[in-house]
Chains A and B, each alone.
Chain A
Amino acid sequence: MSAVSVPFSFNRLALIASNTFLEAVRQRLFNFLLLLAIGLVASAQFFRDFNFGSSELKFIADFGFGALIFFGSALTITATAQLFFSEIENRTALTLLAKPIWRAEFVFGKFLGVFSVIGVFCALTIGLMMALLWHREGQLMAANPEAFEAGRIMRYGDLFMVGVLQWLKFGVLSAIVLLIASFSNTNLYTVVTGFFALVICHLQYLARDSWGNVDSLILRSVVRLLSFVFPNFQLFNLSDEIGQGAGLDPMLAGRVALYAVVYIAVIGGLAVYSFRNREI
């Protein structure tokens, strides 16, 4: 009997993503981390009492990005692991995967759902930070007009771009956690290993920098291989380049964005391959 083929469907993928998004926003953890991040960003408002002048704006931006990176990383790892394992542990995956659906649709649907949640988180946090900066910059302009003769010094477009790059970095992290979850048996193992991966990805540039100092060819090769296996999250830390001075190089931002997209695609593909063989 010749069966009617079931092609890969972006509609089904979007359905799974929207369902994952709905589940995530109803989780208390998301609300808790979102409130914490917003609270932390808003607390930068209190620094106006110090009146650091224009450098205060850079400080507020760094403070905001610090909150975004810290809570965003925690949210990405926990939400990805939780949303994946809730399907397995609650057996909803059984019902869903018994439908005419590709496992790739399931994995990438989960990814897109989490990625959307993180996108909302980033948008709200960055939006609040930019609003605070705009407000504070206005106050500083009124108090010290000579320091702002050329108008506003904050580059809000660059701030937005760095926010987008952080979002993409969280996307890479989410793909890594999905890859771990695709073969892991427990949520806890996935979360712990995800945090280890986060640390390795943030510090791998140290290994990359040091390979030139190692004599052993084998060790050099291993370090080099590992530096490709784990994405370099330091590349996404472009907040130093914004706020004052020349601003963010669009070509650099584009290359970093491409770097993230490639890693998401490759790691996501590996997660699909691993999940294809998983026994539900």
Chain B
Amino acid sequence: MNTSIPAISIQGLTKDFAVTLRGVKLRAVDDLSLQVEEGQVFGLLGPNGSGKSTTIKIILGLLEATVGEVKVFGVPSHQVESRRNVGYLPEAPYFYRYLSGYELVRFYARVCGVPKAQLKARVDDVIDWVGLSQAANRRVGTYSKGMLQRIGLAQALVHDPKLIVLDEPTAGVDPVGSAEMCELILKLKRQGKTVLITSHLLAQIEDVCDRVAILDHGKLMVEGSLLELVGQRDRQALIVDPLPASDIEALREWLASRGHVLNAIEQPRARLDQLFLSKISRAGHLGGNPGVGSNVVPKSSVPKSSSSAPSFTPKA
């Protein structure tokens, strides 16, 4: 593996859209330069209209850059070859409603050129991997949003791509589905996949991303690792059992005697989504027993453990 070639390389990307017949243009992306290294989970953040989806579409060859260059594993993104190693889950995915989940994934597998000898095993594996084995023979038109996201992820992964692009993968999905999507993203990361993800749910991005970039009005505002961007290197938090006021005062004096300052005393809080997930019983990862067709990953179909999570690549 040549690690010197980034998974995605964006240099001076600008994209203008003509918005009137007189030639007035809207600049969706403005001189953007980014690099996503292989094996990273990279979050592309920004408010609506910031240019995230446009950037993704250019990476996927669905749009042409006005100025600049985008390469995927060293291949210009406008070339069909660049998409050989890319899987894409669009925002709010709609699929062919008249196909069953199995037929849909099989269709995309064949489009991607999965060899016939491996086709069935690959499709079965990837459907199992996203936890939809029990609903694989149902028509996609009957799927819930969470299940659509899962089958969308399955079609994105079926040809075993090295780069997976997820556009708002948790949009419109309930907290259980969102948490499960995050689990799947982390499993992809453990398998060495590169993941480019956009999301409005910043807490989730924080949970899964190595690096993030924030766009606004098409411009790159900031880019870096989460530790660099939101970590406070000059601060530390100690979490202890509840202390009486006298002990806190003594601690403050003891710290002062050593030249330190006690800046804040706070009650630690669990996150609301964690509370939600702990209180409901249907979450597969919480030990629930989902029924047939549930959008929850059955325990039996989730990879055995995070450390031994198998690739969706069919067994030889």
Contacts and interface: CB of A to CB of B under 8 A. Distances in A.
Interface of A: 1, 3-6, 9, 11-12, 15-16, 19, 22-23, 26, 90-92, 94-102, 277, 279-280
Q: Which 4 A-B pairs have the closest CB atoms?
A: A1-B74, A3-B81, A98-B88, A3-B75
Interface stretch (B93-101, B194-202, B205-213, B230-238): B93-101
Contact of A99 (B5, B90, B112): B112
Interface in B48-83: 57, 60-64, 73-75, 79-83
A23 B98 contact: yes
Contact of A1 (B2, B96, B112): B2
Contacts of B111: 12, 15-16, 96, 99, 101
Contacts, number: 90
A279 B84 contact: no
8 contacts: A3-B75, A4-B81, A6-B81, A11-B110, A23-B96, A95-B88, A95-B152, A101-B111
Nearest to A103: B80
B155 A95 contact: yes
Contacts of A102: 80
Interface residues of B, number: 37
Contacts of A100: 80-81, 83-84, 112-113
B90 A279 contact: no
B74 A92 contact: no
Given A98-B60, A100-B113, A279-B64, 6 more contacts: A1-B2, A3-B73, A91-B90, A95-B155, A101-B111, A279-B63
A90 B94 contact: yes
B94 A91 contact: yes
A3 B95 CA distance: 29
Contact of B110 (A5, A15, A97): A15
B98 A3 contact: no
Nearest to A102: B80
A32 B86 CA distance: 41
Contacts of B108: 95-96, 99
Contacts of B2: 1
A5 to B, nearest CB: 6
Contacts of B83: 98-101
B81 A280 contact: no
A1 B110 CA distance: 26
Contacts of A26: 98
A138 to B, nearest CB: 42
Interface in B92-133: 92-96, 98-99, 107-108, 110-113
Contacts of B155: 95
